[in-house]
Amino acid sequence: MSRRDFPAPSHGALPADPEHDPSASFALDPARVRRLTAQLRATSGSSETTYAPFTGQPIATLPVSDEGDVEDAFAAARVAQKTWSRTELAHRSALLLDLHDAVLDHADDLMDLVQWEAGKARTHAYDEVLHVALTARYYARTLERHLKTRRVPGVYPLLTQARINRVPKGVVGIISPWNYPLTLAISDGLPAVGAGNAVVHKPDSQTPLSALAVVDLFREVGFPAGLWQIVSGPGPQIGGAIIDRADYVCFTGSTATGKKVAAQAAERLVSCSLELGGKNAMLVLADAQIDRAVEGAVRGAYSSAGQLCVSIERLFVADAIYDKFVARLVKRIERMKLSADLSYGGDMGSLVSQRQLDTVTAHVSDAVSKGANVLTGGRPRPDVGPYFFEPTLLEGVNPSMTCFAEETFGPVVSVYRFGNEAEAVERANAGSYGLNAAIFTRDIGRARELARHIKAGTVNINEGFAATFGTIDAPMGGMRESGIGRRHGAEGIHRYTETQSVANQRLLPLSAPRFVSGGAYQKTVTSALRLLKKSGRA
């Protein structure tokens, strides 16, 4: 199949609308910017301007933090954390539920900011609001379950009573990326706060206002001032200052930066979670419902213009349905509407920056120059906005091409044919990443079995990524170079705690009493051990 088999792409209604002016639909109230900026700890004297991906126009100029600001942020966070860690779990749960409501009440405003800063379509901005609300409710309702002191059997029944406490780490450093400024910063911080920690957070310099807007809501619903500190500035400049002071580091970003963060945290023996990159595969088995798989591929690959860690970048399709599937997928992609608009209706937004556009363009040019076919897409779309790139499907990608194994982090997917499922799994497992995978089939049992052989932290059946990502009770994170640790579920909150075992000894000591000989003691204890084994006790 080659590009010649398909009509020329015709994306986007916007270029046909000469009246359209995206900047006219959004104006940031300067007073609002001042109110949000006032929450930043930033006294370096320098400032940085952020630019809207939809237009390339400036959004706001914000002050930049330096190491002294990070120091002050930690000092204030430590004061707030002391009192906060003594609050009742029921009080924290109630505040999380209030935040849930506040985020939904202010959804439109938050989505405007996210779209303006990150350049994504409104429907993908809503995914972020949804995720913060889901996470707030989940942890509000499960704090008690995850954090309550647990009794465990002591070494000998009746003689030893043991309990395990979960104590907060202290102040958690969160370093987050630009692609999901609410989900990957606020949602990750909610369990940290729920567990009794304070947070010092550095959002990416591209998206500080989105994060500040939620922290504003935090205060509005009654979380104590000082509990969530925000500093802003280039990662290489102030990221290290956070890692040098944090009691735990929650990092989301690229694998390259994640390795540096891990090395620096290791120097201090401070633990961290690293949510990193992926080159995620979707398997379409021979019995899959084709239209459902096509929709799954579109949503899985082009959400947030593919700038999503769990995004599908490799499609493995069973030989028996390959031609039919690819033809329908191309048709479906060509119906997608690119949109630089704050209203619903667009299927895909912009890339975030010139740098991201350059990377995506380079990956496609490299593949094409080495013989790949562009089945659809493949071009930047400056007529829609300065960093737009068409949703792109490539065929004939091979290991000599950059996009074969490297994360593109854009709307570019390679499609491959497979003969049998074992071969598909093997090819999906190739490479160094292990974040997410998807399987489309009518046979759920078969898919569950295949999932066990796939090296990925999440596997979605008949969905691209949202089934696992939206299930907050299930851990989410990467194997191999996709990361260490998990967000969501018990692991997502336990990472922010230390366990503390407390045991008291009653009636008899745990060694031979003075009036009992060593031999007699051994005999008694040995009999006791045999009895305990018989009783089935752990």
* Contacting residues toward ligand NAD, per CB under 6 A: 175-180, 184, 202, 204, 235-236, 239-240, 252-254, 257, 260-261, 275-278, 309, 407, 409, 435, 478, 483
Rounded Cα distance, 171 and 193, in Å: 9
CB of 306 to ligand NAD, least distance (A): 10
Q: Which is nearer to ligand NAD, 39 or 255 (CB)?
A: 255
Rounded Cα distance, 3 and 369, in Å: 15
Q: Which is nearer to ligand NAD, 177 or 464 (CB)?
A: 177
CB of 427 to ligand NAD, least distance (A): 20
- Record the tokens describing residue 91, joined without a space: 């009080």
- For helices 208-221 and 89-105, the axis angle rounded to 10 degrees is 130
- Cβ(275)–Cβ(251) below 8 Å: yes
Residues belonging to the active site: 275
Rounded Cα distance, 30 and 208, in Å: 15
- Cβ(316)–Cβ(282) below 8 Å: yes
Q: Coil, strand, or helix at residue 158?
A: coil
Q: Which is nearer to ligand NAD, 194 or 239 (CB)?
A: 239
Query: DSSP letters along 267-288, please?
Result: HTT--EEEE----EEEEE-TTS
Among the residues of 370-477, which ranges form H helices? 402-405, 421-428, 444-451, 466-469
Q: How many CA atoms lie within 13 A of 246 on its CB side?
A: 33
CB of 245 to ligand NAD, least distance (A): 13
CB of 272 to ligand NAD, least distance (A): 11
CB of 234 to ligand NAD, least distance (A): 6
Q: Which is nearer to ligand NAD, 116 or 325 (CB)?
A: 116
Cα 255 to its chain centre, rounded Å, is 13
CA dihedral 118, 120, 123, 124 (to 10 degrees): -70
Q: Which is nearer to ligand NAD, 184 or 360 (CB)?
A: 184
- Cβ(114)–Cβ(334) below 8 Å: no
CB of 185 to ligand NAD, least distance (A): 9
Q: Which is nearer to ligand NAD, 160 or 254 (CB)?
A: 254
- Record the tokens describing residue 392, joined without a space: 């792109």
